[in-house]
Amino acid sequence: MRSVDTDNATVLREVLQDNTTEASIRAAVAEILGRSVDAESAAALHAISQDRTVEASVRVAAAEALGYGVDAESAAVLRAIFQDRTVEASVRVAAAEALGYGIVAGGAVASGAFLWSTTVGNSENSVVLREALQDRTVEALVRIAAAMALGYRSDERSAAALREILQDRNTEVSARVTAAEALAGIRLW
């Protein structure tokens, strides 16, 4: 990952925070800022991802962008979004995906790899994702996102939770299929 030039980052943050700018542009800007490594951009993404006056598509992009270079504060924001049942399912799904696939500093995608499993909030993130997966009152789409995210976690507890969902005949078929796919990708070290 490389940092966006300071002047450019300032303009990008202004566009992201401008409610009169088209949602598609703001969503693209959120993704660009997510690849940046500066604290001001992360703070802007935190604010946008949690602001319910902002269009859901922009909040989705901001939540996804927080999956790049995840730090403790971003992980906490993503967990809060994911756990808040009053937030739209699309935003919660984006938060789950960001918690699961987190891209670590340096640009190495660590899905299912040792790098992500040893980074910020691993234990807390896994617990939140497992709880949602096992809670039948959580929307199916969000449970599916949790199953996919757990597939990237590469830890025994996540694998056990996925096995349990796969074998539970009372769980919706789509969540069971996703659990099977996620299990196929888990590599326990």
HSE of 63 in the Cβ direction (CA atoms, 13 Å)?
32
pLDDT of res. 2: 54
pLDDT of res. 102: 66
What does the pLDDT profile of the chain (189 residues) look like in tens digits?
A: 456 678 899 999 999 999 999 999 999 999 999 988 688 999 999 999 999 999 999 999 999 999 886 688 999 999 999 999 999 999 999 999 999 876 433 333 333 333 334 444 567 888 999 999 999 999 999 999 999 998 887 778 889 999 999 999 999 999 999 999 999 877 665
pLDDT of res. 186: 76
pLDDT of res. 161: 92
pLDDT of res. 67: 87
pLDDT of res. 63: 96
Residues near 73 by beta carbon (within 8 Å), at least 6 away in sequence: 42, 46
**What pTM did the predictor assign?**
0.82
